[in-house]
């Protein structure tokens, strides 16, 4: 299932569509620029990571990101996002990658 999704990421992932999903569901905590400083983040412990830092991305695969988003992060306020379809997840992860400073 995931492998199939990753294949579709390579060919059809649409970061612009991912941005729409991110804006609706993720900016409150992760911030519009992905720096982890969304309006809700101030109250969170641990705080969301800064996705604009290149080192955060080292060794992280699309598969790991998709799994973390689907499963959430126990012990943090990162809830599971189980309702996203595989193509939506591919779009979302493609958009997350645009935060990484090359």
For binding to ligand HEC (CB under 6 A), which residues are involved?
A: 22, 25-26, 28-30, 40, 44, 46, 48-49, 64-65, 68-69, 73, 76-78, 81, 92
CA 72 to chain centre: 11
Q: Whose Cβ is closer to ligand HEC: residue 8's or residue 84's?
A: 84
Nearest approach in angstroms of CB 90 to ligand HEC is 12
Cα 102 from Cα 89, distance rounded (Å): 22
Structure tokens belonging to residue 92: 């979302």
Nearest approach in angstroms of CB 77 to ligand HEC is 4
CA 79 to chain centre: 12
Q: Whose Cβ is closer to ligand HEC: residue 8's or residue 57's?
A: 57
Query: Residue 48's CB: how many other CB atoms inside 10 A?
Result: 22
């Amino acid at each position: 299932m995931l492998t199939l999704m990753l294949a579709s990421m390579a060919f059809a992932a649409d970061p612009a569509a991912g941005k729409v999903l991110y804006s609706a569901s993720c900016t409150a905590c992760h911030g519009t620029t992905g720096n982890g400083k969304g309006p809700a983040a101030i109250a969170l412990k641990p705080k969301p990571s800064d996705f604009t830092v290149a080192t955060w991305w080292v060794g992280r695969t699309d598969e790991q990101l998709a799994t973390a988003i689907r499963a959430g992060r126990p012990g943090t306020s990162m809830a599971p996002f189980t309702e996203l379809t595989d193509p939506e997840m591919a779009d979302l992860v493609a958009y997350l990658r645009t935060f990484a400073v090359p």
